[in-house]
Each structure stands twice: as structure tokens, then as C-alpha cells.
């Protein structure tokens, strides 16, 4: 069990925005902006960046930061009447000095607890009192864990319902050389085809054009294999049934003002999410959604990446 005393540094980031820096042994680090409760960096022992941050990211409220791990809450995309992906990603979060205990089996104390509560304006747009606590932890093996705890703190006796996603932008060497394992044969909603429902074929997912799919009822483990880097990202998730896979490709990229024209070649979003079955909380109830990311060397078997070994 980790000691409950967190170890982090508070520093100034781009445009003077406050950020938290987590450091683990052997050079590993992660950074979280209080603006958006937004993880913008996750580095391995060689100091390599594992998340993609847009070359044109704007660190200026109210524009959300493009890249890293934006939080989509209380709404994913336009599944509701709020602004796209909800408001959590462009609010100023606070460090939570006395969070309720959260059991962990990592020996690392490189973690920080953040909290978001609604402003008066938020309550006008979404009239529900909540506490959104998120712990960001850098584990002793370099794994990055985000644990969200969302509680209905309303005193009006009313439940509320939300959708959610960790909109993770992974850094990849070349999108054309990347495969995603763990989503084969699953049903998905295709955002490029009016969210019509299809069933994925049986092979690993590869990329050769714009992709924007919401995979439904996905397993708790998904692997992203980067052939050129010989690196595999393993996504482990709890409480998040769905997984969104997004790459805007060339044409769509040009319509996104804070994304560089060439960025799509070096990024892939695989997003642990709760979309198809929104979460409903009665007053006093709490939901927990956990994401754990690790980056491991890819295993090879007769010249091919062997996803089974990765997913075992």
C-alpha cells in the first residue's frame, strides 16, 4: 500500500498556468494542468514523451488544451445539450488537500488529488451539484493511473446522468504502422456515418483514413502496438465500458485550428469512456472510473508483433 502522503511539485506552465509535476525514479514524470485537470505529459525513463500534445495547442482558457488527456464530463461529444465534451476540460481544478482514502497497491507516492466543483454558471447550464475528484498517479513501473470519483452532492433529492471519457492522445511514430488489439468483432457506432451501428471485422484495427468510432461493451484491456517504435501501450480500464478510437487524418485536421496539419500522423486517440449506457447517480452516490496506461516493449514472434502476448 502506498503511503497516503502525495509527492508532487506545483510549478508554472505555459502562459503562467499552474501545473503539477509528478516524478518517479529513473527520470519518469507526468504533468497535470489545473486548467482542465488535464494531463499534458507522461514521460518514460528515457525522457520520451508518450502522449501527443498538438504542435498548435493553445494554453489559454476557455479553449481546451489539444492533446494529452482531456476529460469529457458531464457529456461526451454532443450526446446532450451542453458544449461538446462538457465543461470539465476547461474549468480550473483545485488540489484536493483532504480526499477520501483511495486504496492503491503501488509503492509510489508520486500522485496528486484534484477536485472540481460546479460554478454558479455551470449550475445554470447543468443544474446538478457534484464533486469530481481525480487522482493522477505515476506508479513505480512508470504506469500512469487516473482515477475519477464523481459524487452527486445535490440536496434537491434529484439524480443526475452523465457520459464520460478520458480522451487520451497517444504519441505514435507513424499512424500507418499502428495496430489496435482488443476491439476485434465488437459492435461500434461510426461517428462518420451518423452513428450507425456496425460490427468490427476480426483483424487488428489499422489506419489508412479518418476514423471516429465508439466501440461498445469493450474488454478491460486494449493494446496499441507501435511497430516502428517497437512499443506497446496497454490501456487498462474499470467502470468504462466503451472505447472511442479517433484519428482525424489529413482533411479533417485542417479544419481543427489548434491541430497541426501533420499531427495526425503521430497521434492516436483511444479513449476509455462511458457513453452507450450513461451513468446515473442518486444524491449521495458515487461513481468510479479508472484508467491505467503503461508502455512496454513490443514482443516479436517471427517478425510480427504478437498481440496475444501483449494482451495475456
Q: How far apart are CA 95 and CA 10, in angstroms?
A: 10
CA distance 292 to 140: 13
Give the count of residues interacting with ligand TA6 (CB under 6 A).
10
Based on the residue annotation, tell me whether 271 is a catalytic residue of this protein. Answer: yes
Q: Is 85 in the site for ligand TA6 (CB under 6 A)?
A: yes
Is residue 31 annotated as a catalytic residue, yes or no?
Answer: no
Site for ligand TA6 in 200-229 (CB under 6 A): 212
> What minimum distance in Å lies between the beta carbon of 269 and ligand TA6?
6
Q: Does position 24 bind ligand TA6 by CB under 6 A?
A: no
Q: How far is the CB of 219 from ligand TA6 (least distance, A)?
A: 19
From 45-53, 77-85, 215-223, 297-305, span contacting ligand TA6 (CB under 6 A) = 77-85
Site string for ligand TA6, 237-276 (x = CB under 6 A): -------x-x----------------------x-x-----
What is the Cα–Cα distance from 243 to 306, expressed in whole angstroms? 22
CB 164 within 8 A of CB 240: yes
- State the Cα–Cα distance between residues 299 and 231, nearest whole angstrom: 9
DSSP string of 198-236, one letter each residue: EE--SSPB--SS-EEEEE-S--SEEEEEETTTTEEEEEE
Contacts of 143 (CB under 8 A, 6+ apart): 106, 292, 293, 294
17 vs 244, which CB is nearer to ligand TA6? 244
Closest CB 298 distance from ligand TA6, rounded Å: 25
Shortest Cβ 70–ligand TA6 spacing (Å): 6
Marked catalytic residue, from 85, 167, 181, 292: 167
Query: Distance (Å, rounded) from C-alpha 186 to C-alpha 243?
Result: 11
292 makes contact with ligand TA6 (CB under 6 A): no
**25 vs 84, beta carbon nearer ligand TA6:** 84
191 near ligand TA6 (CB under 6 A): yes
Name the helix (H) or strand (E) containing 311: helix 307-311
Which ranges of the chain does DSSP label H, i.e. alpha helix?
A: 120-125, 249-253, 307-311
Which residue numbers are catalytic? Answer: 167, 271
> Rule CB under 6 A: which residues touch ligand TA6?
77, 84-85, 167, 191, 212, 244, 246, 269, 271
Amino acid at each position: 500500500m502506498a503511503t497516503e502522503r502525495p509527492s508532487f511539485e506545483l510549478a508554472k506552465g505555459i502562459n503562467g498556468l499552474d501545473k503539477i509535476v509528478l516524478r518517479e525514479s529513473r527520470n519518469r514524470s507526468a504533468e497535470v494542468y489545473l486548467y482542465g485537470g488535464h494531463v499534458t505529459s507522461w514521460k518514460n525513463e528515457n525522457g520520451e514523451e508518450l502522449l501527443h500534445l498538438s504542435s498548435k495547442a493553445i494554453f489559454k482558457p476557455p479553449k481546451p488544451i489539444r492533446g494529452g488527456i482531456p476529460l469529457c464530463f458531464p457529456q461526451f461529444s454532443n450526446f446532450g445539450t451542453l458544449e461538446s465534451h462538457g465543461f470539465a476540460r476547461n474549468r480550473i481544478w483545485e488540489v484536493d488537500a483532504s480526499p477520501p482514502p483511495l486504496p492503491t497497491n503501488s509503492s509510489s507516492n508520486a500522485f496528486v488529488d484534484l477536485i472540481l466543483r460546479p460554478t454558479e454558471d455551470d449550475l445554470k447550464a447543468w443544474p446538478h451539484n457534484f464533486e469530481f475528484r481525480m487522482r493522477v498517479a505515476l506508479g513505480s513501473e512508470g504506469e500512469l493511473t487516473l482515477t475519477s470519483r464523481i459524487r452527486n452532492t445535490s440536496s434537491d433529492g434529484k439524480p443526475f446522468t452523465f457520459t464520460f471519457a478520458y480522451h487520451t492522445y497517444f504519441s505514435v511514430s507513424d499512424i500507418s504502422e499502428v495496430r489496435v488489439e482488443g476491439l476485434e468483432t465488437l459492435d461500434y457506432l461510426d461517428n462518420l456515418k451518423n452513428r450507425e451501428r456496425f460490427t468490427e471485422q476480426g483483424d487488428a484495427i489499422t489506419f489508412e483514413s479518418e476514423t471516429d468510432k465508439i466501440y461498445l461493451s469493450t474488454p478491460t484491456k486494449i493494446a496499441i502496438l507501435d511497430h516502428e517504435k517497437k512499443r506497446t501501450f496497454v490501456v487498462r480500464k474499470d467502470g468504462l465500458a466503451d472505447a472511442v478510437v479517433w484519428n482525424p487524418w489529413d482533411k479533417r485536421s485542417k479544419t481543427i485550428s489548434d491541430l497541426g496539419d501533420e499531427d495526425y500522423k503521430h497521434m492516436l486517440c483511444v479513449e476509455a469512456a462511458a457513453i452507450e449506457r450513461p451513468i446515473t447517480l442518486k444524491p449521495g452516490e458515487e461513481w468510479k472510473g479508472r484508467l491505467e496506461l503503461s508502455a512496454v516493449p513490443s514482443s516479436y514472434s517471427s517478425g510480427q508483433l504478437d498481440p496475444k502476448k501483449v494482451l495475456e
